[in-house]
Amino acid sequence: MKTVSLGKPKSQMNSNTLLLLITIVLFFVLYAIGCVVYGERGFTNLQTFLNVLRSNAGLICVACGMTCVMLTGGIDISVGSLVALDCMLLAYGMANWGLSAPVMCLLVLVIGVVFGLVQGYCVGYLEIQPFIVTMAGMFFARGMTAVISTDQLSINQDVSQAFYDVANHRIYFPFGGVVNRAGKVVMPYIGVGVVIALAVLVAIFLVLRYTKFGRSLYAVGGSEQSAAMMGLDVKRTKLKAYVLSSLLCSIGGICYCMNTMSASVSQATGLEMDAIASAVIGGTLLTGGVGNVIGSFFGVLINGTISSIVQFNGKLASSWPNILTAALLCFFIVLQSVFAKLKEKNK
């Protein structure tokens, strides 16, 4: 009797950890392939890896938020448009309203929270399907971006010296330098965005693992009814999840803006699907209750590695990253389904 009750959670843990492990191994395999094939073009440099991080800092934040929402069994497809709105607000606000960079960043975060509150209220308290709510949010954010400005804006030193400095600030590593063509030693570096993204990642990991809120996200996703019977406020938890997602999305938007230093209406289209794909590749189930931000992080890294391999090749058509990511997604989804079937058989 005792062995049965002990054995069950263990085997469940195993299949989920195994999925995460496969994701991590796959990332290293992909990276190794890149190193072997494009080693002489500099793929082995530490900077190549750091560039993947730099260009995906925003996506890491967004994917963390997406994971939290997906844990509750929901989805948030408004993130891409919200990032575009954030970038536009930052660029336009600093240039035309004469507000300083910190004030604008704060405003962006506040808007993120308000956005999340509205969406969360609709999903949690009005019980509208998350897909529909966040789709409306997506239209709204993209439209508001156009209301602010339909031009392609760029953030340069004239717009905001402070933002420019922070965005271009390089944090150098004390090791791993490479001698460039001019004979100078170039140290690998990361930007402020990467630091923010990694801080967010660690924070969300800890929140999900050790706080009451984090655990209740899993509980609600696992079974709403059971969660309600345990005395959890399901509606409130859902509301909080969407607020968290939109807030992280706004932080991601700032990181994204630091990377692109520009804003336009069509910016970050399809980012929501990148975030969802990353989370799914990382082992988060769309039905809720299963997942981890570490997995999503590696999902983002896999996405980034594929794009940088295609970039290093230089000859492949620009649509290949999409196709490869989709193929990977297919592989992982089938794998998950096979695991689920095996689990059912063991029962």
What the block records as the tokens of 152 is 């392609």
Does residue 126 belong to the site contacting another protein (CB under 8 A)? yes
Fill in the amino acid letter for 175: F
Least CB distance from residue 111 to another protein, whole Å?
Answer: 15
| Contact residues for 16 (Cβ-Cβ < 8 A; gap 6+) | 283, 290, 292
Q: Which is nearer to another protein, 51 or 284 (CB)?
A: 284
* Binding mask of the shown chain, residues 269 to 288, with x at each position contacting another protein by CB under 8 A: ----x--xx--x----xxx-
Query: Contact with another protein (CB under 8 A): which of 106, 114, 230, 323?
Result: 323
Does residue 153 belong to the site contacting another protein (CB under 8 A)? no
Q: Which is nearer to another protein, 45 or 149 (CB)?
A: 149
Does residue 326 belong to the site contacting another protein (CB under 8 A)? yes
Q: Where does the chain have alpha helices with state H?
A: 2-38, 46-55, 57-71, 79-92, 101-124, 130-148, 161-168, 192-210, 212-222, 224-229, 234-260, 271-281, 293-313, 320-346
Least CB distance from residue 139 to another protein, whole Å?
Answer: 4
Distance CA 244, CA 79 (A): 12
Least CB distance from residue 305 to another protein, whole Å?
Answer: 16
What the block records as the tokens of 162 is 């402070």
Query: Contact with another protein (CB under 8 A): which of 4, 5, 127, 315?
Result: 127
Query: Contact with another protein (CB under 8 A): which of 140, 213, 218, 312?
Result: 140
Within 7-66, the residues that bind another protein by CB under 8 A are none
Query: Contact with another protein (CB under 8 A): which of 28, 97, 139, 210?
Result: 139
Least CB distance from residue 158 to another protein, whole Å?
Answer: 26
| Contact residues for 305 (Cβ-Cβ < 8 A; gap 6+) | 27, 30, 31, 34, 52
Segment interacting with another protein, rule: CB under 8 A, options 41-49, 171-179, 304-312, 325-333: 325-333
Q: Where does 42-157 have alpha helices with state H?
A: 46-55, 57-71, 79-92, 101-124, 130-148
Task: Compute, in degrees rounded to 10, the torsion defined by CA atoms 316, 321, 327, 332.
Answer: 140
Does residue 318 belong to the site contacting another protein (CB under 8 A)? yes
* Binding mask of the shown chain, residues 73 to 102, with x at each position contacting another protein by CB under 8 A: --x---------------------------
Fill in the amino acid letter for 236: R
Burial class (CB in 10 A: 0-12, 13-18, 19+), 141: buried
What the block records as the tokens of 250 is 């706004």
Residue 42 phi/psi, 5° resolution? 100, 15
Q: Which is nearer to another protein, 157 or 266 (CB)?
A: 266
Least CB distance from residue 121 to another protein, whole Å?
Answer: 10
Residue from 128, 12, 116 nearest 66 by CA:
116
Query: Contact with another protein (CB under 8 A): which of 26, 122, 241, 310?
Result: 122
Q: Which is nearer to another protein, 113 or 334 (CB)?
A: 334
Task: Compute, in degrees rounded to 10, the torsion defined by CA atoms 74, 200, 335, 272.
Answer: 50
Query: Contact with another protein (CB under 8 A): which of 165, 337, 342, 346?
Result: 337
Distance CA 76, CA 55 (A): 22
Per CB under 8 A, residues contacting another protein are 75, 122, 125-129, 131-133, 135-140, 142-144, 146-147, 150, 265, 273, 276-277, 280, 285-287, 317-320, 322-323, 325-327, 329-330, 333-334, 336-337, 340-341
